[in-house]
Structure 1
Amino acid sequence: MQVDALTLSKFQGAAEPNERLPMKVLGQDDFLQLLVEQMRNQDPLAPVQDTEFIAQMAQFTSLEQSRQMSDDMKLLRAQASFQQGVDLLNKEVTVQVGEEEPPITGTATELEMVDGEPKLLINGVFYALQDVIHVKAMDGSNESQSKE
């Protein structure tokens, strides 16, 4: 069963769903509402200059583009990580889960995305790509060595 904020709130005695919870970030709609209110409530004898509005819009546009670029970078990182996992399929892979645990070696037979992170199936158990310390091609030659 997937537990999300709505499901969790039923069990924690949280606020009723009708109550508005505060947002952590202001969005585009919030900015536009503030801009409209600023225009409505400005002093007619000393109105805000149009250059100030243009500067505010430029700042907001820059902020929105930065947010979009950040989202695009997250997607690109996820795709690159997945491709790294694909490249390890059908290869002998050694993973090190903890410093106290012995390394585990086996053939990577499956790749699955779990919570946005690619995991390799080795000897029937899924491991994160960050746990890979050695990769060996099936013909016996060393392909790469990520950590030692």
Structure 2
Amino acid sequence: MPVDSIGSVTGGSQTDALANSKTINQDDFIKLFLAQLRFQDPMEPVDNREFLAQLAQFSSLEQSRQTSQNTSDLLTMNSATQAVSLLNKQVDVQGLAAPMTGQVIAVAFTSSGPTLSVKDGTGAVTTDIRLSQVSLVKP
């Protein structure tokens, strides 16, 4: 899920290359590893050090993937916290047909991230405002 922050430069959604790519998990790696052992040439066995190096490398990649996932989860939680903290605050919004100022009256959580509903001075409500469109928060 793309994560926006208040006043961020990017306005569109970004795709996560890791989420869209096909990955191999540790169980698949062990199955592949055992198949490789089972079908190796008995006249030219593969050195065990190569297998251990591959296993260590896979473990390192798995830890890196978990760290990336945890960071993504943390950014998502931070984005949700930012959105909720804007309730009943005056904000300036950019990226619409015309810039506007209004009060945040609701927060909706969608698969693409939190969106705000802002009520302007005339009472008109604008929905689906992303955090990246908020340029200024007034107390």
Flag whether TM exceeds 0.5 (same fold): yes
The structure that has the greater radius of gyration is: 1
Distance, in Å, in 2 between the alignment partners of 1:118 and 1:55 is 43
Distance, in Å, in 2 between the alignment partners of 1:51 and 1:117 is 46
Aligned to 2:113: 117
Deviations 1:80-125 (A, max 9, x none): 1111112211110111124xx2112111122221114111111232
Structure 1 unaligned blocks of 5 or more: 1-22, 138-148
Q: Alignment partner of 1:126: what SS?
A: strand
Q: Alignment partner of 2:42: what SS?
A: coil
1:92 aligns to 2:94 (yes or no): no
How many residues were matched structurally?
A: 113
Amino acid at match of 1:126: D
Larger RCO, structures 1/2 (Cα 8 Å, 6+ apart): 2
Worse-superposed segment, 104-113 or 127-136: 104-113
Q: TM-score, normalised by structure 1?
A: 0.69
Deviation, 1:51, is 1.4
Q: In angstroms, what is the RMSD of aligned CA positions?
A: 1.7
Aligned to 1:18: none
Amino acid at match of 1:128: R
- Aligned match for 1:64, one of 59, 62, 65: 62
